[in-house]
Chains A and B, each alone.
Chain A
Amino acid sequence: MEIKRIQTPLDDGVINQLKAGEKVFLNGFIFTARDSAHKRFFETLDRGEELPFDIRNQIIYYCGPSPAPPGKVIGSCGPTTSSRMDAYAPRLISLGLKGMIGKGKRSQAVKDSLKQYKAVYFGATGGAGALLSKSVISSETIAYEDLGPEAVVKLGVQDMPLFVINDIFGNDLYETGMQQYRR
């Protein structure tokens, strides 16, 4: 199938072109964060402090990798279930976050935020952690090292394979895909 190459930071020009169901190869930098890191993001924001990185036009990857073996940039690094971060996503999107990578359905509140602020939800293939590790070319822990696999890591990615699940037009691949093949 046809594959679009896109680059971070994401700008509206690129986001306007992305449609649910498309496969993309992502290039640039992304930031891992899952349950505990999101909790700390909120505590930081509530104190009126800055997040550990500028999230404007960036992408968060819901991922807790396995440990990197000697000589490797990263271990296996597939997505975790996104819905656990639904409570946090709308606020981050309103602050300028432009993309999230994970697996599984998002809440209506998240989907509404994607439309309102022009952001996109991408799916990485769950359970394809070895494949996804091949597209990671650099890895640097930038915050919350004490959280182990839940630390915030800045990943340099080259042609990371993703599918667009929720676009800015309100399309949802999970809904349209299932309707199309239901018998």
Chain B
Amino acid sequence: MREVHTDSIIAAVENLFIDANINLSQNVFDALNQAIEKEESPVGKEVIRELVTNANIARTEHMPICQDTGLAVTFVEVGQDVHVVGGTLTDAIAEGVRRAYKNGYLRKSCCDPFSRKNTGDNTPPIIHTHIVPGDTIKIVALPKGGGSENYGEVRMLVPSQGKEGVKSFVIDMVTKGGPNPCPPIIVGVGIGGNFETSALLSKEALMAPIGQRNPDPAIAAFELEILDAINKTGIGPQGYGGTVTALDVHIRMLPCHIASLPAAVNIQCHAHRIKEITI
């Protein structure tokens, strides 16, 4: 049994959230640069150029890419041969988040649902854990802004609605969001499982790099089919009109109940901030 001290988890989480919020990943940066070429609207091109400049300024000036530095979402894969010492894993992640948002000058955006009183330190973080083989801990930090998160939804479709039902659900959500989730967006689609699994799958889908296709060729083709339909809506960068409304669509799918077809859509803005570490 390998021991991992909470001090190393706290430090790793602090670094991850600061890094994610300031340094746009090369994958997203490259996708934005390619989008300038693909975009047909002059205004749309100008908007994406601003986004590329923004990413460069954030990196060199050490500033958040976007002032909405999000709720602190983490996906944690805990090897079953790891023993966390010094405290609990949950407390360690929360402390890392607390330090990141304070020391990194990140905005604290977490509040009471009704009184709207800010929790003051961007905790509690959102933690999804999976137990996996091995003796390491992998942590993915995915700070998620409110503007894009507001256009997510779970729908319990009827099995007869099939692929067409899922496709029109996704287009419906993208159209409903229009300019608000800050296009060009990345769309996570969760299909199957049950009510809560579909929602989780839709967020996990966002972890796939832009351009990476689902290993199942039929689902990979379905991803591209939906992407094409989204880019024909005309919404465009920032909703000002254009041909690049989404940078990619990622689907995650699991078997479901014979009576159900759960589907979930989770929308991510162009400021797709994601960083990971394995301890």
Which residues does A use to contact B, with CB under 8 Å? Answer: 1, 21, 23, 36, 63-69, 72, 75-78, 80-81, 83, 103-105, 123, 125-131, 133-134, 148-149, 161, 163, 165, 173-174, 176-183
Contact = CB atoms under 8 A, between A and B. Distances in A.
Given A80-B147, A130-B58, 5 more contacts: A36-B116, A104-B178, A129-B67, A149-B107, A183-B234
Contacts of A23: 43, 46
Closest 7 CB pairs of A and B: A177-B241, A182-B234, A181-B234, A131-B54, A130-B58, A126-B182, A183-B232
B62 A69 contact: yes
Contacts of A128: 50-51, 53-54, 66
Contacts of A64: 67, 107
B233 interface: yes
The B interface is mostly helix, strand or loop, or mixed, namely loop
9 contacts: A36-B116, A67-B106, A72-B61, A76-B67, A127-B145, A130-B54, A134-B57, A149-B67, A181-B40
B43 A1 contact: yes
Contact of A177 (B43, B57, B65, B118): B43
A69 B147 contact: no
A66 B241 contact: no
Nearest to A20: B240
Interface of B: 40-44, 46-47, 50-51, 53-55, 57-58, 61-69, 105-108, 116, 118, 145, 147, 150, 178-180, 182, 232-236, 238-243, 269-271
Given A80-B68, A104-B179, A177-B242, A69 B41 contact: no
A71 B109 CA distance: 23
A149 to B, nearest CB: 6
Given A69-B105, A130-B54, A75 B42 contact: no
Given A179-B234, A181-B241, A174 B107 contact: no
A182 B242 CA distance: 8
B145 to A, nearest CB: 8
A174 B241 CA distance: 7
A178 to B, nearest CB: 4
Nearest to B22: A130
B58 A174 contact: no
B241 A131 contact: no
A173 B139 CA distance: 41
B234 A72 contact: no
A158 B57 CA distance: 17
Given A1-B43, A130-B58, A181 B64 contact: no
Contacts of A75: 63-64, 67, 105, 107
B62 A177 contact: no
Contacts of A149: 67, 107-108
Residue among B108, B147, B242 facing the most chain A CB atoms (10 A cut-off): B147
A100 B226 CA distance: 35
Nearest to A132: B54
A77 B105 CA distance: 13
Given A75-B105, A76-B58, A174-B179, A69 B240 contact: no
B240 A163 contact: yes
A67 B120 CA distance: 13
A152 to B, nearest CB: 16
A178 B239 contact: yes
Given A178-B234, A178-B239, A182-B234, A76 B65 contact: yes
